[in-house]
C-alpha cells in the first residue's frame, strides 16, 4: 500500500493555495469538472513533486465545490487515499477483518472504507482498473463515505 493524498474541501481556493504556499507546498496539477461542478487542486512539497501536471509522491487535494455548501460534521476534511496492488484482494482482506466496504470497487478501481472514528479512506487500484467482478459489481453502497 502506498499513501497518495489527503483531501480537504475548501470554500476559497486561492486563499487556501496561498496558505499552503507559505507552508512550502506548490500546485502541481488541477482538474476542472464541469459536469460534477467541482475543481480539484493538488499541492505538494518540492521533495514530493514529480513536475508540473504530474501526480506527486504525496499530495494535499483541495476540492472546491462550485455550488456553496455548509460543511458540518467535519465534512471539510474529506479522506486519506492509498494505492493498493489488488483492490479486490485488499477489500476482501478488510471485509474478512470485519471492516465495512462503504463504497465497493464495482469499477475495479476505487473503494471507500471508514475508520472507527468515521474518517474516510479511499483505496485506488495501482495501474489500470481491474475487470469488473462479483461480488463487487452487485454490492450496494453502505452508509456514506
Task: Return the active site residues.
Answer: 122
- The helix (H) or strand (E) run that includes residue 88 is helix 87-96
Q: Strand pairing of 120-125 and 77-84? A: parallel
Burial 48-58 (b: 16+ CB within 10 A, else e): ebeeeeebbee
- Nine cell digits for residue 93: 482482506
> How is 19-50 classified by DSSP, letter by letter?
HHHHHTEEEEEEEEETTTTEEEEEEEEGGG--
Amino acid at each position: 500500500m502506498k499513501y497518495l493524498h489527503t483531501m480537504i474541501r475548501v470554500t476559497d481556493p486561492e486563499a487556501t493555495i496561498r496558505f499552503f504556499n507559505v507552508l512550502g507546498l506548490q500546485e502541481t496539477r488541477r482538474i476542472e469538472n464541469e459536469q460534477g461542478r467541482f475543481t480539484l487542486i493538488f499541492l505538494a512539497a518540492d521533495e514530493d513533486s514529480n513536475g508540473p501536471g504530474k501526480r506527486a509522491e504525496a499530495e494535499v487535494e483541495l476540492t472546491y465545490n462550485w455550488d456553496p455548501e455548509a460543511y458540518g460534521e467535519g465534512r471539510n476534511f474529506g479522506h486519506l487515499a492509498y494505492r493498493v496492488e489488488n483492490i479486490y484482494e485488499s477489500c476482501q482482506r478488510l471485509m474478512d477483518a470485519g471492516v465495512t466496504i462503504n463504497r465497493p470497487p464495482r469499477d475495479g478501481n476505487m473503494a471507500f472504507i471508514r475508520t472507527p472514528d468515521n474518517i474516510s479512506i479511499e483505496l485506488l487500484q495501482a495501474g489500470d482498473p481491474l475487470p469488473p467482478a462479483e461480488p463487487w459489481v452487485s454490492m450496494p453502497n453502505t452508509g456514506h463515505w
